[in-house]
Structures are given as structure tokens and as C-alpha cells.
């Protein structure tokens, strides 16, 4: 049950957010509809509720953030998940991006490094009625081999390099959306698997929290 979903102040703010995203170049109508449908204010601490529909990142604890809506929309648009596709998400965080993917009728496998966030986001997503997902706590840079290959992989943290393990867990035709760069700025990449080969496209620069793990940044380098 989604509480406060139809409160007028949130409904109007979501409409304003959609206008902002459209002005910034988001064109996929299915992505925009998912952004409108998912109540972002339920994924953050109530102290930040008044900022829930501003296009900004917000803290969710443990040095992590809920990404700004434009970033979520752009990554989702680049991923272009189709109904029924198997999508691996690296970095569950608050569960907001997870919910957007579920709203697009993908089956989502999501990994969160922090056990506390894994517990909180899992409970939140189940309470909100999302069922086509599987969650676990662990090192996201190693993917989830038991359920590979995936039609899409989306990484919600900045990596120093593209984890080879994630590339190998893509299905033929699968897309990997990942920000790669240094600790302050990353370039969004879309890597598409074509048989045993991979094509890479580069998009705009973004700023994410670091991707920690065996094939990402290690704790001592951040």
C-alpha cells in the first residue's frame, strides 16, 4: 500500500519534475510515466520530503545518495528495458531505481553492498507491492552469476574501469549502463554485447558515489 501517494502537493510536484526532465532532454515516454508513477518521497527520510521532487540527489545514509531524478531517467532511457527482460542492478540504495525498473515491467535482480540499506530497501519495495525482483547484499562488481545472463545491467555507482565480470554476464544483445571515471566525474557508457564482441558508446558526464568492490574501487582508494 502506497501511503500519501495522491496527496495534491506531491502530485503537482511530480508533474513539475516531469516538465524539468523533458526540458533536460528525456524523451522516452515510458520512462517519464514510470517516474511519474513512483512516489520518490517514500524512498527518502521524511526530513527531506519537501525536496523529494526537486532534480537533486539526497542523502540516504552510509555515505550513499538517492540519485537525482534526471540521472535515474537518463540511465533508464539508455538501458531501454523491455517488459519481461532480466535486469541486474548494481547498487540498490534506497530502492528508487529498482522501483522504476519494476514499473517498466522488467524482472529485476539487485545487489546492495550495505546490509542495512539492503534490509531497508527490501522491506520498502515489498511493502509497496513490487514482486518481480530478487535482492541480495554483496559485492556488486562480481554480478550475480547464478541468474546470468542478463538482458541489461545498470550500475548506480562510479567505477574506475568496466568490471569484466559484468560484461561477461550480459546476454547477446544485452546492454551495460555504467559511469566510469575518477572519484569526482564519470562518463556514462553503454556497452552492448554482440556475440563475443562489445561495442561502447559514450554519453554525458555525471557524478556518482564510488563503486566499491573486487572489480571497482577498494575501500582504501576512496
Question: Where in the sequence numbering do the catalytic residues fall?
Answer: 67
Give the CA-trace dihedral at 160, 166, 172, 176, to 10 degrees.
Answer: -50
b/e map of 13-49 (b: 16 or more CB within 10 Å)?
bbeebbebbeeeebebebbbebbeebbbbbbbeeebb
* Bridge partners, residue 210, by sequence: 158
Structural contact between residues 203 and 70, judged by C-beta atoms closer than 8 angstroms:
no
**Is 8 exposed, middle or buried, given 0-12, 13-18 or 19+ CB atoms closer than 10 A?**
exposed
Q: What value does the CA radius of gyration of the chain take, rounded to a whole number of Å?
A: 16
Amino acid at each position: 500500500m502506497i501511503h500519501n501517494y495522491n496527496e495534491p502537493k506531491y502530485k503537482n510536484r511530480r508533474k513539475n519534475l516531469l516538465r524539468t526532465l523533458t526540458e533536460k532532454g528525456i524523451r522516452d515516454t515510458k520512462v517519464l510515466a514510470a517516474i511519474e508513477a513512483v512516489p520518490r518521497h517514500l524512498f527518502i527520510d521524511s526530513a527531506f520530503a519537501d525536496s523529494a521532487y526537486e532534480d537533486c540527489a539526497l542523502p540516504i545514509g552510509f555515505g550513499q545518495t538517492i540519485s537525482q531524478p534526471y540521472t535515474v531517467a537518463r540511465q533508464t532511457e539508455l538501458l531501454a528495458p523491455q517488459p519481461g527482460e532480466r535486469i541486474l542492478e548494481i547498487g540498490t540504495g534506497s530502492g528508487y531505481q529498482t522501483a522504476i525498473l519494476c514499473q517498466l515491467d522488467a524482472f529485476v535482480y539487485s545487489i546492495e553492498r550495505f546490509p542495512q540499506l539492503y534490509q531497508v530497501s527490501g522491506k520498502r519495495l515489498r511493502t509497496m507491492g513490487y514482486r518481480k525482483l530478487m535482492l541480495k547484499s554483496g559485492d556488486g562488481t562480481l554480478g550475480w552469476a547464478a541468474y546470468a545472463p542478463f538482458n541489461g545491467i545498470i550500475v548506480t555507482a562510479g567505477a574506475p574501469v568496466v568490471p569484466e565480470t559484468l560484461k561477461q554476464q550480459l546476454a547477446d544483445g544485452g546492454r551495460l549502463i555504467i559511469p566510469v571515471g575518477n572519484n569526482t566525474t564519470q562518463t556514462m557508457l553503454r556497452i552492448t554485447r554482440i556475440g563475443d564482441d562489445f561495442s561502447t558508446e559514450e554519453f554525458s558526464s555525471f557524478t556518482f558515489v564510488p563503486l566499491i568492490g573486487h572489480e571497482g574501487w577498494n575501500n582504501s582508494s576512496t
